[in-house]
C-alpha cells in the first residue's frame, strides 16, 4: 500500500531580518559599550575599562539571548566615570587601608628648646642615659631612621679604639635603600658616642635598654620606634611627634641653613639616603619667615 504525503517545509527560522535588527540596535549603543582595540601592553590593557558587551560575541550567541543582553545593557546607568577613574582595590590590601585611613599626617618637628627638655628628661629618668642620648642625637643630628639606629654599632662610628670617626657610615643592609652612605658626625653626637663607648665598651649595638635585672637588652627597629613614641609622650608638649620627627627636623634645619654654604637639595638627598628628590621634598617644613625673605630680596 502506497501512501501519498507531502514533505513539510523546513522549520528552521530565517533570522536574517532579525539579525539586521540586532545590528541596528548594536549601532545605537553608547560608545562606552563598544569594543576597544587591544592595548599594546598589559599595563595599558589593565587601565582601560572593559566593554560591557563586546561586539565580537554577538554572532556567537543565540538570537534571543543576544537581544536580551543588548536590552539589559541599554537599561544600565550611562554614567560610569567613577568606575573608569577609580581602579578596583583588593579588600584587605595596604592600599585599601591607606584610603580608609585618609591622608597621612606628617610627624611634628623638634625645636632646639624641646631637644634640651628631652635630653634633660633622659638624664633624670632613664636607666641607660648614655644609649638614650645617642639614639635621640642620631635621629635629630644625623637624620637616621629607627631601623638604622637599631643596627648601628661602634664599627660604624669609630676609626679605632675610643676614637670617633669624622663620618658616620650607614650600611645598605640597615637602610631602606640599596646603597650605603656617610653622614658627618655632629659635635654633640660625637661626645655622646665617646661617653657611651667609655661606659659600655662591649655593647653589640648603640641602641639598647637596661632591664630590672641589670642586663643589657639590644633593641630592634620596632622597639626603637616604640621607645621614641613613649619618650615624646612622657616629656610632654610634643604633640604629633614620632620616631620620624628627628629625621624631619634634621632635613628641615639643613634646608633652612643652606644659604651661603654652597650646598643644595642634592646633598640633603644623599644624606637622607633617598633615591628620588621628591621623597626629600616631603621632609621639608614650610617656614613662617617667607615674608622677611621676600622683603630682603
What average pLDDT does range 227-238 have in this prediction?
Answer: 93
C-alpha cell at 2: 502506497
Q: Residue 77 above 70 pLDDT? A: no
Nearest to 73 by CA among 28, 36, 38, 39: 28
What average pLDDT does range 41-65 have in this prediction?
Answer: 57
Per-residue pLDDT tens for 5-19?
454 454 444 545 555
Report how far apart, in Å, the C-alpha atoms of 104 and of each of 99, 175, 180 are: 10, 22, 28
> Which of 20-29, 132-141, 183-192, 222-231 bottoms out in mean pLDDT, i.e. has the lowest?
20-29
Report how far apart, in Å, the C-alpha atoms of 233 and of each of 56, 106, 147, 208, 236 are: 64, 17, 21, 19, 5
Q: Residue 293: what pLDDT?
A: 67
What beta strand segments (E) does 119-248 contain? 158-160, 163-164, 167-170, 181-184, 208-210, 216-218
Write down the residue that cell numbers 664599627 correspond to.
155
Mean pLDDT estimate for the chain: 78
Domain ranges of the chain: 112-287
Per-residue pLDDT tens for 174-231?
777 778 899 999 999 999 999 999 999 999 999 999 988 888 999 999 999 999 999 9
Q: Residue 213: what pLDDT?
A: 86
Per-residue pLDDT tens for 256-276?
888 778 888 899 999 998 888
Domain 112-287, CATH: 1.10.443.10
Q: Residue 20: what pLDDT?
A: 62
Q: Residue 99: what pLDDT?
A: 64
C-alpha cell at 271: 644624606
126/72: higher pLDDT: 126
**Count of C-beta atoms within a 10 Å radius of residue 32:** 15
Amino acid at each position: 500500500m502506497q501512501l501519498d504525503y507531502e514533505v513539510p517545509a523546513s522549520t528552521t527560522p530565517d533570522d536574517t531580518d532579525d539579525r539586521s535588527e540586532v545590528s541596528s540596535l548594536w549601532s545605537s549603543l553608547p560608545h562606552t559599550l563598544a569594543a576597544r582595540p587591544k592595548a599594546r601592553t598589559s599595563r595599558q590593557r589593565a587601565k582601560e575599562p572593559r566593554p560591557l558587551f563586546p561586539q565580537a560575541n554577538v554572532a556567537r550567541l543565540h538570537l534571543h539571548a543576544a537581544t536580551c543582553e543588548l536590552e539589559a545593557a541599554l537599561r544600565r546607568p550611562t554614567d560610569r566615570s567613577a568606575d573608569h577613574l577609580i581602579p578596583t582595590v583588593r579588600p584587605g590590601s595596604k592600599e585599601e587601608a591607606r584610603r580608609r585611613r585618609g591622608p597621612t599626617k606628617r610627624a611634628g618637628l623638634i625645636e632646639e628648646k624641646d631637644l634640651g627638655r628631652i635630653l634633660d628628661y633622659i638624664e633624670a629618668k632613664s636607666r641607660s642615659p648614655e644609649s638614650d642620648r645617642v639614639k635621640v642625637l642620631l635621629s635629630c643630628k644625623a637624620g637616621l631612621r629607627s631601623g638604622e639606629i637599631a643596627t648601628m654599632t661602634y664599627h660604624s662610628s669609630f676609626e679605632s679604639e675610643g676614637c670617633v670617626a669624622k663620618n658616620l657610615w650607614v650600611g645598605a643592609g640597615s637602610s631602606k635603600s640599596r646603597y650605603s652612605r656617610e653622614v658627618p658626625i655632629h659635635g654633640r653626637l660625637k661626645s655622646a658616642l665617646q661617653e657611651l663607648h667609655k661606659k659600655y665598651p662591649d655593647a653589640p649595638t648603640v641602641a639598647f635598654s637596661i632591664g630590672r635585672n641589670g642586663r643589657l637588652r639590644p633593641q630592634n627597629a620596632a622597639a626603637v620606634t616604640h621607645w621614641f613614641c613613649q619618650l615624646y609622650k612622657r616629656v610632654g608638649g610634643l604633640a604629633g611627634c614620632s620616631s620620624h620627627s628627628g629625621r624631619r627636623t634634621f632635613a628641615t634645619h639643613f634646608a633652612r641653613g643652606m644659604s651661603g654654604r654652597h650646598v643644595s637639595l642634592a646633598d640633603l638627598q644623599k644624606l637622607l639616603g633617598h633615591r628620588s628628590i621628591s621623597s626629600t621634598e616631603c621632609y621639608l617644613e614650610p617656614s613662617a619667615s617667607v615674608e622677611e625673605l621676600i622683603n630682603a630680596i
